[in-house]
Amino acid sequence: MRVTPAVLANDLTTFGQLIEVSETFTDYVQIDIMDGVFVPSTGIGISDLAGVKTLLKSEAHLMVAHPEDWLEAVANFGSEEVIFHYEAVADPEATISLLRDTDFRAGLAINPDTPVGEFLSLADSVDTVMFMAVHPGFYGAPFIPAVLDKIKDLRAQRPFLNIGIDGGMNLETAGLAGDAGVDFVCVGSAIFKAPDPAHAYCQLKASLNRSATNPADVRDCD
């Protein structure tokens, strides 16, 4: 199970700084894009992506109403997977086909209120399903525990699907998500607002890969 740092910024300077920090402890990040339409918040723009160069591998989490508008920009940035919101598009199958045609891995992000049965038919068409454990668009929003049951439900029905969770992740909730059956957790504020982001990242990896019923063994992070 892996920890993916989630890079969320609303200006080019902050975005570049977060990428530089990430380069010190990981080789893979998620970049979060918000349009102020599908979610109330706005973030970096297409031109901002062009202004930052990195060797990091990445996936793009598009919290936007029109994911197709961002594909060229995230491809040029170097993202290999696009995770779009099931609730944001009228025809998710068409968006998945577009991602395949443009050589992206395809992922579905699922809002907290969306039942598993509503999107289950698409699960075999994507590489990833990522559950939102917060309502998207708000940095540091509180964790919604009921999402863990949805993860267990989907894992039981699709044992080999790549399943992740995003939002409200910390040492405790990462362990709970691991127990629920995720393959990865996306973490923003618990890493980047920590005094030592690299240390926080190491601790989260330890928490994710232990039983939630026992204390995390973080001695290797000291």
User: Which residues are part of the catalytic machinery?
Assistant: 32, 166
- The DSSP secondary structure of the chain, one letter per residue, reads -EEEEEE--SSHHHHHHHHHHHTTT-SEEEEEEEBSSSSS-B---HHHHHT-----EEEEEEESS-GGGGHHHHHHHTEEEEEEEGGG-S-HHHHHHHHHHTT-EEEEEE-TTS-HHHHGGGGGG-SEEEEESS-TT-TTPPP-TTHHHHHHHHHHH-TTSEEEEESS--HHHHHHHHHHT-SEEEESHHHHTSSSHHHHHHHHHHHHTS-TTS----GGG-
Q: Are strands 57-63 and 28-34 parallel, antiparallel or unpaired?
A: parallel
Please report where in the chains the tokens 């920890």 appear, as a residue.
3
CB contact at 8 A, 95 and 65: no
Which amino acid is residue 56, in one-letter code?
L
